């Protein structure tokens, strides 16, 4: 089980110092806009992944006039994770008192999914957000995936440097083509295998949540090149185009998920509320699949759930989340907006947030 039993945060946005003991089920943070509720979820996500879900910049993340933001969590099994983000120094991450060079171990120990206003990017945004969604799931169920993914990233970066040269060295390009194809085949295999399991699970869950147009919704995994052809042949054929643009146009870095309703893109047909249900169902399905594959539950961070959703849809989402049996962190302005949407009587803890502190 991945359960946070103690969370300490200092100098993250307007949180000067916070120390709480969440419960293993539903934790609700309520208060006015700007009080710091979302910053608490952001701190958990930062600890689990090294990234904020609100910004890619470091400066807004650290409290004004402070040089360092610190997040610490003790898990229910006694394991401890600590992170320091500094304006002037490299971040410091520790897991079980050991310095970590990357987030691999922490991310596996603390799998987190975020449901917030930016979740719409899964449908509205570019392919990068959909690749990140897919790769989150593959990373957690296939241990060797991340190494092959890094090999493709390195191969593409080196290949692109060669493509940008005034007189490209074709021998070196071919060498990196070979390395790229070997790694890309493994990345594609892992993504395709994961998606094959994920899709029917998602569609069944989406139907339970009364998702719109469930019978006509189609989702296709696109690997980043014509799957009926070998990537090596595509790279050779498109080499002149790659040289013209100075970048590799085909490969796993171009993979995408296509959402369609008939001939139309789903994002052009579904309302914002319907999109939120679809995205929520996809992320919940990933949590279910993780639980089936591993002996742990996904932690869900749910920011401002009542926004753009009526009570029936809030109930649909919370019912699935609570039914999964994992730890949930939810924010809202009005506490009743969550309380009247919770199914049954789950054990819950409420925290009133005001100016970056817990007041009740």
Which residue has tokens 């394991």? 79
The residue behind tokens 């009526």 is 310
Of the candidates 131, 124, 119, the one whose C-alpha atom is nearest the C-alpha of residue 267 is 124
Report DSSP state, residue 87.
Answer: S
Q: Could you count the other beta carbons within 10 Å of the beta carbon of residue 290?
A: 21
pLDDT recorded at residue 346: 87
* Tokens standing for residue 156: 């593409």
Q: How far, in Å, CA of 71 to CA of 18, rounded?
A: 10
pLDDT at 6 over 90: yes
Tens digits of per-residue pLDDT, 147-161? Answer: 999 999 999 999 999
Q: How confident is the model at residue 228 (pLDDT cuts 50, 70, 90)?
A: very high
Integer distance in angstroms from the first to the last C-alpha of the chain? Answer: 28
Confidence of residue 316 (pLDDT cuts 50, 70, 90): very high
Distances in Å between the Cα of 215 and the Cα atoms of 39, 210, 262, 276, 350 are 38, 11, 10, 18, 39
Is the torsion defined by CA of 50, 55, 57, 62 positive or negative?
Answer: negative
Q: b or e along 228-267 (b: 16 or more beta carbons within 10 Å of the residue's beta carbon)? A: eeebbebbeebbeebbeeeebbbbbbebbbebbbeeeebb
pLDDT tens-digit readout, 273-291: 899 999 999 999 999 999 9
Cα 19 vs. chain centroid, distance in angstroms? 25
Tokens at 159, concatenated:
């290949």
Percent of the chain with pLDDT over 70: 99
Q: Write out pLDDT tens, residues 123-132.
A: 999 999 999 9
Q: How far apart are CA 170 and CA 96, in angstroms?
A: 47
Position 258 scores a pLDDT of: 97
pLDDT higher than 90, residue 272 = no
pLDDT at 108 over 80: yes
DSSP-derived secondary structure letter, 63 = P
Of the listed ranges 179-188, 218-227, 254-263, 336-345, the least confidently predicted one is 336-345
* Percent over 90 (pLDDT), the chain: 85
Taking residues 243-259, report their average pLDDT: 97
CA dihedral 144, 285, 8, 33 (to 10 degrees): 140
Rg of the chain taking only CA atoms, in angstroms? 22
Strand runs (DSSP E) across the chain, as ranges? Answer: 4-10, 18-20, 26-30, 68-75, 80-86, 92-95, 98-99, 112-115, 217-222, 256-261, 264-265, 299-303, 328-332, 348-354, 357-358
Residue 119 pLDDT: 86
The C-alpha atoms of residue 37 and residue 332 are separated, in whole angstroms, by 8
Helix (H, G, I), strand (E, B) or coil at 125: coil
Which band of pLDDT confidence, cut at 50, 70 and 90, is reported for residue 1?
Answer: low
**Least confident interval from 22-31, 292-301, 304-313:** 304-313
In the chain the domains, ranked by start, together with CATH numbers, are 1-111+300-360 (3.40.50.300), 122-295 (1.20.1050.90)
- Note the Cα 83 to chain centre separation in Å: 19
pLDDT at 38 over 70: yes
Position 232 scores a pLDDT of: 97
* Cross-strand partners of 113: 300
pLDDT band at 343 (very low <50, low <70, confident <90, very high): confident
Q: What is the pLDDT of residue 75?
A: 96
Tell me which H or E stretch contains 161: helix 145-163
Q: What is the DSSP letter of 217?
A: E
Q: Report CA-CA distances (Å) from 54 to 38, 46, 115, 304, 334.
A: 9, 10, 12, 14, 22
The yes-or-no verdict on residue 250 having pLDDT over 80 is: yes
């Amino acid at each position: 089980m991945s359960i946070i039993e103690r969370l300490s945060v200092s100098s993250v946005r307007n949180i000067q110092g916070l120390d709480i003991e969440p419960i293993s089920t539903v934790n609700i943070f309520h208060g006015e806009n700007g009080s710091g509720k979302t910053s608490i979820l952001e701190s958990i996500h930062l600890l689990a992944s090294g990234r904020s879900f609100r910004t890619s910049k470091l400066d807004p993340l650290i409290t004004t006039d402070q040089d360092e933001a610190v997040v610490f969590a003790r898990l229910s099994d006694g394991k401890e994770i600590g992170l320091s983000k500094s304006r002037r120094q490299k971040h410091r991450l520790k897991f079980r008192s050991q310095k970590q060079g990357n987030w691999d171990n922490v991310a596996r120990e603390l799998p987190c999914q975020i449901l917030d206003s930016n979740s719409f990017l899964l449908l509205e945004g570019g392919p990068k957000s959909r690749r990140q969604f897919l790769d989150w799931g593959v990373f957690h169920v296939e241990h060797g995936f991340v190494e092959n993914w890094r090999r493709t990233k390195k191969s593409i970066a080196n290949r692109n440097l060669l493509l940008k040269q005034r007189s490209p060295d074709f021998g070196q390009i071919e060498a990196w083509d070979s390395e790229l194809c070997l790694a890309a085949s493994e990345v594609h295999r892992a993504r395709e295998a994961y998606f094959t399991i994920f899709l029917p699970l998602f569609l069944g869950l989406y139907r339970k949540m009364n998702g719109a147009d469930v019978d006509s919704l189609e989702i296709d995994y696109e690997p980043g090149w014509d799957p009926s052809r070998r990537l090596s042949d595509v790279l050779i054929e498109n080499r002149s185009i790659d040289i013209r643009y100075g970048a590799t146009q085909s490969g796993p870095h171009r993979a995408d998920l296509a959402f369609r309703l008939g001939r139309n893109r789903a994002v052009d047909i579904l309302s914002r509320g319907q999109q939120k249900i679809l995205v929520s169902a996809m992320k919940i399905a990933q949590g279910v699949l993780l639980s089936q594959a591993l002996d742990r539950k996904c932690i869900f961070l749910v920011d401002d759930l009542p926004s753009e959703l009526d009570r029936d849809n809030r109930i649909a989402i919370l019912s699935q989340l609570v039914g999964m049996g994992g730890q949930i962190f939810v924010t809202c302005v009005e506490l009743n907006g969550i309380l009247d949407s919770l199914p049954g009587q789950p054990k819950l803890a409420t925290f009133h947030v005001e100016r970056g502190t817990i007041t009740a």
